[in-house]
Amino acid sequence: MSNPLLESTAVVTVTYNSSSHLPKFLDSVRLSEDLQLDVIVADNHSSDVNAISEIARVQGARLLALGENRGYGGAINAAIASLPPHVTSILISNPDVELGHGATSALLAELAADPLVGSVGPRVLNADGTTYPSGRQLPSLRNGVGHALFARLWPTNPWSRSYRAESEGSDVRRPVGWLSGACLLVRRTAFDELNGFDEGFFMYFEDVDLGYRMGKAGWTNVYTPAASVVHTGAHSTSTESGKMVRAHHASAYRYLEKKYSAPYLAPVRWALKLGLSVRARVLARTGRLG
């Protein structure tokens, strides 16, 4: 049966030494819907690009070999720019995600129901079946600093709970500040209006920034548990954890610097930069993100 919403939807994923996870992802895309979705695999100059190319060929996906590592947002932007004009919705996903049955259709229903919805995110399950807080409030000076200071030592602190919107519950459909870039559906007109992801974020916070700019431009970000996916983890960065800690904090500062850019907030930006720099150095020694 014809489904115009699915027929105008494409799936985009980014690989970086991800050949071990890609087959399960592509299998899940194929099995999740009755209609075969077009899939673009944007590769960030992987050492296993030949294996990735073969997997994509066998699975009927199109490989976009970038020849350099453009970061997550840069690779997604390049893949979306290569899509034909008839594609009006794009499912953006990590390759270590497995889509649940009907996940894309459930996300598309949100776009169809409200023309002001710019992005939709599913319930994201961890490999152990627990729910990852994928739809969150935007980081503020209060909840962002509180979360950064206490999340590891006091996981149930009120600032982290507020930032993660835990009081809302994972079973509740709701508008949110931002959606995890591990898996979200975007309306192409909204994404293009914002010029896609800010490629100044090489890794981390590009999804936070996208949600922030969506809201500023009048679009709504929606979390819906009607769709679900399983995310098995950030495999491609696990061997460079100290480097990733520093990248995470650099991206956090870039986001806060953009959000609090007014000249009179310069002292706030200085304090944030110092605090994040110190925190990054401490956590880099343990090789763990906070």
- The list of the chain residues with pLDDT below 50 reads 234-240, 290
Second CATH level (architecture) for the domain 4-133+170-232: Alpha-Beta Complex (3.90)
pLDDT at 287: 52
Domain ranges of the chain: 4-133+170-232, 240-286
Contact 234/241 with Cβ under 8 angstroms?
A: no
pLDDT at 235: 43
Q: pTM to 2 decimals?
A: 0.89
pLDDT at 76: 98
pLDDT at 4: 87
pLDDT at 236: 43
What are 183-228's pLDDT values in tens digits?
A: 999 999 999 999 999 999 988 899 999 999 999 999 999 999 999 9
Using a CB cutoff of 8 Å and minimum separation of 24, what contacts does 44-47 make?
44/14, 44/15, 44/16, 44/68, 44/69, 44/70, 44/71, 44/75, 45/16, 45/69, 46/15, 46/16, 46/17, 46/18, 46/19, 47/17
